[in-house]
Amino acid sequence: MRVLIVGAGAVGGYFGARLAQAGRDITFLVRPARAEILRREGLRITGTLGNFSVQPKLVSGPGALGGPYDLIFLSVKAYALTQAIEDFAPAMGPQSMILPMLNGMAHVDVLTRHFGVQRVLGGDCRVSVQLDRNGAIRQLADFQQMRYGELDGSLTPRIRAVDELMQGVGFDAAASVDILQEMWEKWVQLAGLGAATCLLRGTIGDIVAVPGGAGIIMRVVAECAAIAAACGHPPSPAFAAANQAVMTTPGSPLASSMYRDLSAGSPVEVEQILGDLLARAQSQRINAPLLEAATAALRIYQTRLDQSDPKSGRR
């Protein structure tokens, strides 16, 4: 199976490197500046599960794609989706599948409108990684999980083929018969984590260390869970219990990628992670004051960033 990884940032670079290391046929579609670094330094992974590097196969423009590809693994920031679609569209063939690993749910509607529902899979990954200043990908925690499935929950031959591709490459991978539910649960976790860490400006450990901190975290998570339930995807009791444990662990260094982006002065996915969820809350007449406050704060930050530098990273 030929796979095109769209973006060799933290998430796409990490999973793509694992697949390439295992001998899968992986090509990365990257910007010229990133391509230069990767050709010179290789694609390097460092962190909690050890260090390794691969020399990736790269393309850096639509004209050089050499498609079609069987699987398009889409891992860009949500605000970069429109440009990414333009970039990888020439790589699509009649049987090509798109496996998106973006945050939130809005991207599913965008992709199905562009390519048709039959071309789009559901995807969910949980991994804590970030690019360092030298272009290497640093793994911050041991968990590395990927789930994928048909949007209608069926176990089709093509999903079985994707599952075969993902097995035995160094991360926890499995096909799902309820991928939309898993994507909603991740959204609840990510939005709660992002709202809490960005609003309170700290890691989970920082927040729970102060009086009332854990309570604030769980109130914003409850708001997110209530929205998901109103939209037909109530989080399961098992998810809720596990999520509470993760979100209230004393001393935890856990923080959202959005908080790390905020701390670095980079663009944030406020509309895709928080804004879209808040809009659904308002359409369902659900009061979510903490989510609303976090969304407003990050919108102010992003507006200032855009005004100071219109080319601040959005594609």
pLDDT at 315: 40
Q: Please tell me whether residues 186 and 150 are part of one structural domain.
A: no
Residue 315 within any structural domain of the chain: no
Rounded to an integer, what distance in angstroms lies between the CA atom of residue 248 and that of residue 246? 6
Q: Which of 57, 77, 186, 311 is flagged as catalytic?
A: 186
Give me the number of domains the chain comprises: 2
Residue 314 within any structural domain of the chain: no
Q: Please tell me whether residues 122 and 234 are part of one structural domain.
A: no
- Residues contacting 191, CB < 8 A, separation 6+: 224, 273, 274, 277, 291
Q: Choose one of 157, 177, 197: the last residue of a domain.
A: 177
Helix (H) / strand (E) element for 205: namely helix 204-208
Give yes or no for residue 309 having a pLDDT over 80: no
Cis peptide before 267 (omega within 30 of 0): no
pLDDT tens column, 225-273: 999 999 999 999 999 999 999 999 999 999 998 999 999 999 999 999 9
Q: Please tell me whether residues 135 and 19 are part of one structural domain.
A: yes
Residue 313 within any structural domain of the chain: no
Residue burial 250-259, b: 16+ Cβ < 10 Å; e: rest: eebebbbbbb
pLDDT tens column, 74-130: 999 888 999 999 999 999 999 999 999 999 999 999 999 999 999 999 999 988 888
pLDDT at 312: 56
Look up the CATH number of the domain holding residue 264: 1.10.1040.10
Residue closest to 99 by CA, chosen among 123, 76, 82, 67: 123
Q: Please tell me whether residues 126 and 254 are part of one structural domain.
A: no
- Residues contacting 123, CB < 8 A, separation 6+: 99, 100, 101, 146, 147, 148, 179, 183
Main-chain phi, psi angles of 126, to 5 degrees: -130, 110
Where do we find the tokens 């860490």? 197
Where do we find the tokens 């997110």? 224
57 is annotated as an active-site residue? no
Dig out the tokens for 108 from the structure: 């599913």
Dig out the tokens for 105 from the structure: 């749910």
pLDDT tens column, 137-162: 999 888 899 999 999 999 999 999 99
Dig out the tokens for 226 from the structure: 């209530």
Report the percent of the chain where pLDDT is more than 70. 98
pLDDT at 99: 98
Q: Please tell me whether residues 190 and 173 are part of one structural domain.
A: no
Rounded to an integer, what distance in angstroms lies between the CA atom of residue 136 and that of residue 43? 7
Q: Please tell me whether residues 226 and 302 are part of one structural domain.
A: yes
Q: Choose one of 145, 177, 209: the last residue of a domain.
A: 177
pTM: 0.90
Q: Please tell me whether residues 201 and 110 are part of one structural domain.
A: no
pLDDT at 213: 97
CB 163 within 8 A of CB 175: yes
Q: Distance of alpha carbon 41 from its chain centroid, rounded?
A: 25
> Residue 314 — very low, low, confident or very high, per pLDDT cuts 50/70/90?
very low
Q: Choose one of 177, 210, 241: the last residue of a domain.
A: 177
Residue closest to 98 by CA, chosen among 110, 80, 143, 188: 110
Look up the CATH number of the domain holding residue 97: 3.40.50.720
pLDDT tens column, 27-72: 999 988 888 899 999 999 998 888 999 999 999 876 788 879 999 9
Domain that holds residue 111: 2-177
